[in-house]
Amino acid sequence: MNETTGNAPDSSGAVVHPPIAWVLAVGGGLVLDRLYPLPFVPEMVPDALVGGLVFLAGLALLVWAAMTFGRAGTDIPVNRPTSTIVDPYRFTRNPIYTGMFLGLIGFSIAFDSLWLLILLVPFYLVIRYGVVAREEAYLERKFGDVYRAYKTRVRRWL
């Protein structure tokens, strides 16, 4: 069911490796917070506990998705070929990125840093337009109707 990709490279051509973008968002947020703290969590909220739980939920989602990719025998890195459409997901086509978003939200709560939450916006835009849009175009070229049918069944995000 693999359609020819013509002369196109057998990868998504993402503008950045998502873990690098995530580390830059976290690092940038922590630096900005150090220079100019912007707390936002109400004092009555146990920020470390709530943020830790949100972070762990994101990490669990990411690990589950990565294991699912591994069991399917396909690569996760955006610069490598995708060998199959991994289709156990009912809620999102992008559970790894959703896990990364939750992780960043969890850090922003745990560190009580509005900067981390603010940097979620550019992180999302980079992932959405520089990674996911390119992945979707690549998967449509490579898998054609199989991928288009998958897109109709499963939302991009939640």
Q: How confident is the model at residue 77 (pLDDT cuts 50, 70, 90)?
A: confident
Q: Which two tokens stand for residue 140?
A: 């449509």
**Which pLDDT score, from 0 to 100, does residue 5 have?**
45
Q: What is the pTM of this model?
A: 0.88
Return the domain boundaries, the chain.
18-153
Q: How confident is the model over 90-147, as pLDDT tens digits? A: 788 899 999 999 999 999 999 999 999 999 999 999 999 999 999 999 889 989 999 8
Single out the residue of 148, 151, 158 nearest to residue 3, CA to CA: 148
Q: Which two tokens stand for residue 52?
A: 């830790």
Q: How confident is the model over 20-75, as pLDDT tens digits? A: 999 999 999 999 999 999 999 999 999 999 999 999 999 999 999 989 888 888 87
